[in-house]
Structure 1
Amino acid sequence: MDKVNFRTFGIFLCLLAMLALPSLLNAQGKLSKGIKKVERGEYNSAISFFEQSVKKGEMVAESNYWIGECYRMSNRVKEARGYYKLAYDDGLPFEDLPLSYAISMVAHEDYSGAKIVLEEFVGREANEENENYIMNAEDYLANLEYLEQIEGKKSVYRVKNMESINTEFAEYAPFYYKGNLFFTSNRGEGDIYKATGSYFTDLYSVKTKGAIVDLESLQKLGKEFNSIGVNDGCIAFSPSGKTVVFAKGNTGKKKGRADVSLYITYKKDGKWTEPRLMEINTPDSWNSTPAFSHDGKTLYFSSNRMGGYGGTDLYSATKDSRGRWTNVRNMGPKINTFGNEMFPTVSKYGKFYFSSDGHPSFGGLDLFSAQRQNGTIVVRNLGKPINSAADDFALFMYSRGKGFFSSNREDGKGDDDIYTFVNTDPKKKIVNYYLAGISYTLDDEGNEVVLPNTSVKLLTTNEDVLGETVTDEEGNFKFRVYEGEVYNLFGAKDGYLTGRNTFSMIGKELPEEKMVKQINEVVYETKVVLNKLELNKAIVLENIYYDFDKANIREDAALELDKLVNILVDNPKIKIELSSHTDSKGEALYNQDLSQRRAESAVAYIISKGIEPVRLQAKGYGESAPIAPNTMPDGSDNPEGRQKNRRTEFKVTDIMDKQPSEGIKEENLEELFFGSGD
């Protein structure tokens, strides 16, 4: 895709700046014509109108501001500084100007100058009109202070320009697959894209052995991936190589899709199918920079759709049992900021990388890693020289400690260039933990039977979704897990009650002396059991105990009843009967009364947890419904049988017309592909 839309389109400053449009649109002449060009994304064409406006003396400060905006929005932030300065020195009262000006100064590594401008701005008295601008300026100031802390740290990266494939044009978004390096470039010929004044972008490939390039193999991809007069780019292969997702858009025409969208194609009989628009796109929004998880079941991408935290945010989508990409979720405020987050990637060693200009950066986009530590996401700037005052983005690891990334830093051959890097840090041993399991149901005899195509989610103890998958035909699922964390597993399938399980990683860490390899893998096993959703089928609640001759709920019984509360929360359309049973000791009438009081006590406890009383019915059966003999054939006592008869059960009595699984939180997804290593 074109650089504009990959890296700056949708940035929150642009959106805020547009608030100034109504008054300016009333202006006559070249200025208003230039603004109309900006609205259409034709930034390069707009600049000439604003320059003519300056020459005519028509709203000079505003015109200089818009020239700066055009350069910034077309990824030429360094050229924007002079125009922002002219507008700033003229006292132009646009509330977004100080931060835009500061960002352009940072692009010139003038960090002290940027701090002076921002400190003066945040010192103003806040009001409803500038409160958000001041908050964003405060965040950016904090970022600049953080950079001072990391700038002096010794770098572990060695960086080199891949001169053999770079040109005076843009080469970026590298993706390495089976000896081929795929990338995006506007080195071609043909129509001009009006936003940048350069050619439209296409997808290319070249054979490489690591970073050693076979230039004779360089070629443009076929018509399945490239279209005339359209920006194509940013390709991602699934781990199997049979699925490709890439971005397409920006024809510059009035008809058709308004922005960039993701397309998908499949390899069948040795050929790629006609690319089709993915359902995870949203109309009139920018959707791009795709990346697959290591198992191919999750797709990460960036989008400026409504409901995000800033310009472009990172999202994830999961593949269901029918191969459809669904469950689009924002990756949350630990990853996403007021700025732009894009170009996600997951290395095969589990570490998550992305590009951002909202997290503390040395200027423009910087490269970051994210990993889980003690139940939270920790984001780190990769530091210099892998980051610079320019845009540094689209990292891809092709082996441990080695990879590619893109940058438009000054020592390049032209526009964006592709660089290779090596992590020179001593190779410490690392360990990746996984939780593998099988989804089951129970047959009439209580035996476990594999339940395929079950949706399984990995949750925090606060019910936030960390990962999601669909089990295969053998019921298998697998998640990445981390030291010192406790998880809930949640299983769901049509026609079944949801199932839950808990798994703790506390105390399960592998000691370093047992790490026999540089990269170690530890797999823990678990299971999720789902009961078939049938009316009036009794399901025993295990470990529900009462003190002798009493009906009050003990603490250990409350823990078990909490599991039933979860079932009712997860399955809000069911009504149940909760029943209590006794053995045959004592008088039948007394046992009947005791069991009724125990059932009512359990129901009262469940109601206290927020379940509507209308969904619950208490029923005591006393000794009238044994499931095992209370005595042996010879008349002697049968303790095991009596224990089975002293049970608490529930059964579904009605299924209401509601949506299932309303109890799971779906917001602020923080996917579990953030690890250690690399």
Structure 2
Amino acid sequence: MLAKSTQFARLLAFFIVIVTLFGCNPTRQTSKKGLKYFERGEYEWAIQALKPLVDQQLAGDKSAYYVAESYRLSNRIGLALPYYQKAQTQGVEDVLINYHIALAAKSLGDYPQCKAALTKFLQSKPNRFYQIKAEIELENLDKIPTLVQKQSPVALFPLMGNTPKTEFAAQKIGNELLFTSSSKPLIYKNNGLPFLGLYSAPLLKENEITTPHLFSAQLYKENANDGTPAFSHDGTTVVFARGNTGKSKDPSPDVDLYISKKNGNDWSEPERLAISDSIAWDGSPSFSYDDRTLYFSSNRRGGKGGLDLYRVPIDNSGRFGRPINLGSIINTPGDEIFPFVSENGKLYFSSDGHPSIGGLDLYVASRNDNEISIEHLGVPMNSIGDDFAINLSDPLSGYISSNRPGGKGDDDIYFFKSSGAEEHWWSNDSTNSTTNQVLKTVNYALAVQVVQPDGKAIPGVQVSTRRNGETSEVFTSDKSGKIDALSLNSGDEIQFKLEKDGYISARSSFSLEGREIPQALLKKELTDTTFTFKIVMDQPEIGKEISQFYQLNSIYYDLDKADIRQDATIELDKIVNFLQDNPQVNLELGAHTDARATAAYNQKLSQRRAESAVKYIIQRGIAKDRIKPKGYGESQLINECSDGVDCPEEMHQQNRRTEFKIIQINQE
């Protein structure tokens, strides 16, 4: 009897295991599918695939975390809060999770939870960049009670014509309202809404429109987001933002500025403006009232952090000059976006880096002599949501955009009209300003030391410097491997070239980007700060990988392709420089893949990629016999992600690497 019971129990256990395995299989497939959507930046699709898994409490499942991240990365951070909280209770590790929880809570008006999460985040000792952002957020929280008490001198009305779609960046042109709307036929997989385009609608009243229509067929691209146009005051030139194609091979958030000229009733084919940065987000353009300056927002290198406001002078021939950052009184480690310059020279903009009620709030900046004052526009212009894209139709009225509670869509348009006289329109009285200050000064310096990989100092190294692309000075390292301290100015980037007999010539660079101390955190009128920067040099050795002393990043390729992408040329140009600097050294370029696909296929693909990269280098003047292409396929994985092993994408990415190692040292 006992034997039969044991046998039955074993059969029952076996049956349960089989049912469990087969029952979980659809879940595993859904999870993998959702993660693939997430990796491609198709966040709405990821949310739909992963949301059903959140409540199933599967061991080790991170669905709640990826749902939260998908909401955040598609600009819906308020919806992310409960999923971040659930992920945290499940033990998901992310050093930024409390920071994201804080911002999500703030976007919902839950300031106590925001403060608690920021405090906990700072206790984890985050990196300097996020430490600064969190400290500013924490300091700004104390200012919110004052901000919500300030009343804007306006009456605010939702636009009759807002829909469940996204409508924003409205401006009055003649008797029509032009705005950006998610009304194209194709769906942008980032947020599940249609692609953005430029649309126009007749105005029945200042806050009411009839059926919208496409603004211009010439300014329309079916599979891209178009929006936020800026028109010259004579109406003959338009600059607008275009990007985010949403294709799986182009998941980046890059957006560029485009220009078009009016020809009769039509617009010319849009051309990309040369001031755009190919690897940055450039958007929300706006002309000054005299059309001699273009303002825009960008997260390009050299900024103060996040999105910054820039201005570009325009000469009499219509040529655009060099973009100039508006400085650290206006720009913060957060985001500054949607500039608008009024007839009287005031700069209106949105920011989440200055003290705000919710996410983005509206501000106005004015210059009085040598001082810049920044004023929060108060309530109801601002809310716990994102409030942005102000545009004045006349000195006393205009339009803003907001995703505040009570709206019809993701973003909605609101009409405002001043309830008082023009001279009371957001006065510049310092008692109303959030910032009215003389810029505090920081003296930055850089202490450089040249060392071997083991940290031992190298004396007698010739160190040549280039500051912001221009030749500067040449130094020789002393017995401690040090050179004279270098003074630094805001926005500086210094390139170093190091040479010494018996060592591999090296290059390195140091940038102040992201390192400058925000004005809000400076307590003294004058602060001295010195950065320590060590540069590694090494002796040539067969088989040595060179990335440690040449600041090389991995080279990436599009799916199933071997073509050299624009971002890869930056790294390959460094190899060209290395081979020019070190004529005694020959290299092997080794391309590796992950284990997904067959070994034979991966071997051929990696060889094609290696040969494509070597061809690029040879075309830049390097002798063919000095660099050898070698495809390793999946034969040298650096982690456990072999065939059949379920690994997260970041671990597969570790295997998709490119290495440059020394294979020959020639006699000089």
TM-score range, shorter chain: 0.5 to 0.7
| Residue number in structure 2 paired with 1:245 | 239
The answer as to 2:71 corresponding to 1:67 is no
Shift of 1:207: 3.1
CA distance in 1 between partners of 2:426 and 2:405 (Å): 38
**Which residue in the other structure is 2:129 paired with?**
132
SS at match of 2:218: coil
Query: Structure 2: how far apart are the matches of 1:398 and 1:41?
Result: 37
Task: Look up the equivalent residue of 1:45 and give its one-letter code.
Answer: W
Distance in 2 separating the partners of 1:227 and 1:325: 25
**CA drift at 1:119:** 2.4
Does 2:234 match 1:233? Answer: no
Q: Helix, strand or coil for the counterpart of 2:242?
A: strand
What pairs with 1:216-365 in structure 2 (closer than 5 Å)?
218-254=212-248, 259-365=254-360
* Amino acid in the other structure paired with 1:99: Y
Q: Once the two structures are superposed, what CA deviation does each residue of 1:418-457 show, in whole Å capped at 9, x if it has no partner?
A: 101122244438999xxxxxxxxxxxxxxxxxxxxxxxxx
SS at 1:301's partner residue?
Answer: strand
* Paired residue type of 1:347: S
CA shift, 1:311, in A, is 2.1
Deviations 1:313-369 (Å, cap 9, x if unpaired)? 211112234322121122222122222111111112221111112211111211111
Deviates more, 1:103-112 or 1:204-213: 204-213
Deviation at 1:56, TM superposition (A): 6.8
- Partner deviation per Cα, 1:247-280 (whole Å, 9 max, x = no partner): 1122222567953211111113443211111111
* Structure 2 counterpart of 1:109: 109
Q: Please give the TM-score of this superposition, normalised by the length of structure 2.
A: 0.56
CA drift at 1:407: 0.8
The residue that corresponds to 1:380 in the other structure is: 375
Secondary structure in 1 matching 2:322: strand
In structure 1, what residue type is equivalent to 2:291?
A: G
Say yes or no: does 1:143 pair with 2:140: yes
Q: Does structure 2 retain, via aligned residues, the 8 Å contact 1:344–1:354?
A: yes
Cα-to-partner distance string for 1:11-48 (whole Å, 9 max, x where unaligned): xxxxxxxxxxxxxxxxx976666455334321112224
Where structure 1 has 5 or more consecutive residues not aligned to the other structure, the ranges are: 1-27, 433-482, 486-571, 574-667, 669-678
Number of paired residues?
404
**Cα displacement (A) at 1:213:** 4.2
SS in 2 for 1:224: helix
Contact 1:374 1:484 in 2 (8 A): no
> 1:239 deviation in Å?
1.2
Tell me, yes or no, if the aligned pair for 2:236 and 2:262 is still in contact at 8 Å: yes
Q: Could you say what secondary structure the match of 1:379 adopts?
A: strand
Secondary structure at 2:384 match in 1: coil
Does the 8 Å CA contact 1:285/1:305 hold for their aligned counterparts? yes
Give the letter aligned to residue 177 of structure 1. I
Matched, 1:389 2:390: no
Whether 2:169 is the aligned partner of 1:173: answer: yes
Q: 1:30 to 1:315 in 2, by over 3 A?
A: farther
Q: Give the SS at the match of 1:206.
A: strand
**CA displacement, residues 557-584 of structure 1 (integer Å, 9 cap, x when unaligned):** xxxxxxxxxxxxxxx99xxxxxxxxxxx
Partners of 1:292 and 1:325 lie apart in 2 by: 12
Check conservation: 1:167, 1:187, Cα contact below 8 A.
no
Cα separation, partners in 2 of 1:133 and 1:72, compared to 1, 3 Å: same
Indicate if the aligned counterparts of 1:334 and 1:377 stay in contact, CA closer than 8 A: yes
The answer as to whether partners of 2:140 and 2:356 remain within 8 angstroms in 1 is yes
Aligned residues of 1:344 and 1:355 also touching (Cα < 8 A) = yes
Kindly state the Cα deviation for residue 173 of structure 1 after the two structures are TM-superposed.
0.7
> Contact 1:95–1:133 (CA<8 Å) still a contact in 2?
no
Mapping 1:645-660, distance limit 5 Å: none
Q: Name the CA distance, whole Å, in 2 between partners of 1:321 and 1:290.
A: 19
**Match of residue 557 from structure 2:** none
CA RMSD of aligned residues (A): 3.0
TM-score normalised by length of structure 1 = 0.55
- Matches of 1:335 and 1:109 in 2, distance apart? 25
Give SS of 1:246's match.
strand
Any conservation in 1 of the 2:204–2:210 contact (CA below 8 Å)?
no
Residue 81 (1) aligns with residue 76 (2): no
- TM superposition shift of 1:290: 0.7
Task: Write the distance in 2 (CA, Å) between the matches of 1:343 and 1:382.
Answer: 15
Q: Determine the structure 2 residue equivalent to 1:619.
A: none
Paired position in structure 2 for 1:593: none
Deviations 1:125-168 (A, max 9, x none): 63xx54433322111011111112222233322211011x2111
Match of 1:444 in 2: none
* Aligned-partner SS, 2:241: strand
Residue by residue over 1:64-89, the C-alpha shift from the partner in whole angstroms, topping out at 9 and shown as x without a partner, is: 22211211221222211101112334
What secondary structure does 1:414 align onto? coil
**Which residue does 1:158 correspond to in 2?**
155
- Deviation of 1:281 after TM superposition, in Å, equals 1.0
DSSP 3-state at the match of 1:176: strand
Match of 2:447 in 1: none
Corresponding residue for 2:47?
Answer: 47
> Is the contact made by 2:40 and 2:248 (CA closer than 8 Å) also made in structure 1?
no
CA contact (8 A) 2:216 2:267 kept: no
Partner of 2:407: 412
Instruction: Determine which structure has greater relative contact order: mean sequence separation of CA pairs < 8 Å that are 6+ residues apart, divided by chain length.
Output: 1
For residue 46 of structure 1, what is the amino acid of its counterpart?
A
Q: In structure 1, how many angstroms separate the alpha carbons of the residues matched to 2:437 and 2:385?
A: 38
Q: 1:193 aligned to 2:188?
A: yes
Instruction: From 394, 397, 400, give the equivalent of 1:399.
Output: 394
Q: Any idea what the Cα deviations from partners look like across 1:640-672, whole Å, max 9, x if unmatched? A: xxxxxxxxxxxxxxxxxxxxxxxxxxxx9xxxx
CA contact (8 A) 2:243 2:256 kept: yes
SS in structure 2 of the partner of residue 248 of structure 1: strand
Q: Which amino acid aligns with 2:110?
A: D
Separation (CA, whole Å) in 1 of partners of 2:426 and 2:417: 21
Please tell me whether Structure 1 or Structure 2 has the larger radius of gyration of its CA atoms. Answer: 1
Distance in 2, Cα, partners of 1:240 & 1:336 = 30
Q: Which amino acid aligns with 2:324?
A: R
The AA in structure 2 aligned to 1:41 is G
Deviation per residue, 1:480-538 (Å, 9 max, x gap): xxx999xxxxxxxxxxxxxxxxxxxxxxxxxxxxxxxxxxxxxxxxxxxxxxxxxxxxx
Q: In 2, distance between residues paired with 1:242 and 1:295?
A: 14
> Secondary structure of the residue that 2:202 maps to in structure 1?
strand
SS at match of 1:327: coil
CA distance in 2 between counterparts of 1:395 and 1:353 reads 7
1:429-440 matched pairs, under 5 angstroms: none
Change (3 A) 1:307 1:421: same
Q: What amino acid does structure 1 have at the position aligned with 2:113?
A: G
- Residue 215 (structure 1) shift: 1.8
User: Which amino acid in 2 is paired with 1:147?
Assistant: I
Partner of 1:462: none
Call closer, same or farther: CA 1:379–1:43 in 2, change over 3 Å.
same
SS of residue paired to 1:326: coil
Query: What is the correspondence of 1:278-677 to structure 2 with a 5 Å cutoff?
Result: 278-428=273-423
Q: How has the CA–CA distance of structure 1 residues 285 and 131 changed in structure 2, closer, same or farther, with 3 Å as cutoff? A: closer
Aligned-partner residue type, residue 149 of structure 2: G
**1:118 correspondence with 2:118:** yes
